[in-house]
Amino acid sequence: MTDVKATRSELLNLKRKIKLANAGHKLLKKKRDGLILEFFDILKNARNLRKELNERYILAHNKMRECTALDGMVSIKSVAFALREHPAIELEVKNIMGVTVPVIKAGSMRKNLVERGYGMMSTSMRIDEMVKGYESLLEQIITAAEIETTMRKLLKEIESTKRRVNALEFVVIPRIKKEAAFINFRLEEMERENIFRMKRIKGK
């Protein structure tokens, strides 16, 4: 009788484990699906991001080559050193379904003549256009850094969550159910043996 009680207790414990595993599986599936939706939502904004970044880089680089050839490197360096205030960047984080992703807060990259520290009389229009090109490029780099880092982190978490969902669905839950089925079968055998034993005792 003691064996039967112990076996029943073990079976109840396994049933609790199955219930918990099913609940965990359901929550993880919701998390995985939510992360995938977030990823594709961000992907909409990032679809042409790399292309735009390359285009801005080529434009700024071409303007730099033109200025180097016509105005000289000395003029370009003097403009660079004239900058009065360097761009300020703050890095924060936000939480997307348990995943911490970066939020880059940056002041305006586009400066006026006073903020750049040089006058139109001392430089050519070419240099001014080159500066504008690199300011635009820097803005795009900051945007790309935030979005691409977020996407990488989300993808990593999606893969990790998928592995856990699959492990529960195809390994953990089937194994516990198999153990429970075996114990249930064993319990039925023990109960049949007890009934047979009781009948023999009554027969005597």
Model pLDDT for residues 77-91, shown as the tens digit of each residue: 888 787 777 777 888
Pick the CATH number of 2-13+48-203 from 1.10.287.3510, 3.30.70.330, 2.40.340.10, 1.10.287.3240: 1.10.287.3240
pLDDT at 2 over 60: no
Alpha-carbon distances of 44 from 40, 76, 86, 89, 103, rounded to whole Å: 6, 38, 32, 25, 18
In the chain, where the domains are located = 2-13+48-203
Please give the average per-residue pLDDT across 150-175, as a whole number.
96
Residues 127/74, Cβ–Cβ less than 8 Å: no
Task: Tell me what percent of the residues of the chain surpass a pLDDT of 90.
Answer: 55
27-63: pLDDT as tens digits: 999 999 999 999 999 998 888 888 899 999 999 999 9
Q: How far is Cα 4 from Cα 161, in angstroms, rounded to an integer? A: 39
Could you give the percent of the chain with pLDDT greater than 70? 93
Tell me which DSSP letter residue 120 carries: T
Average pLDDT for the chain: 88
Q: How far is CA 33 from CA 4, 29, 44, 97, in A?
A: 43, 6, 17, 11
Token couple for 115: 């903020």
Cβ-based neighbours of 93, under 8 Å, separated by 6 or more: 100, 101, 102, 103
**Local structure of 123: helix, strand or coil:** coil
